[in-house]
Amino acid sequence: MPVQPILRYPHPVLKKLCHRVEQIDQKIHELIQDLVDTMLDGPGSVGVAAPQIGVTLRVCVVDVSKNRHGKENNHGLLCMINPEITARSGSATMREGCMSVPDYTGDVDRATDITLRFSEPDGTLREIDASGFEAVAIQHEMDHLDGVLFLDRVTSIKTGLFRRKNY
Active site (catalytic) residues: 141
Amino acid at the residue 109: D
d(CA 49, CA 152): 17
Fill in the DSSP letter of residue 12.
G
Give the closest residue to 112 by CA, choosing from 89, 87, 96: 89
3-state secondary structure of 79: strand
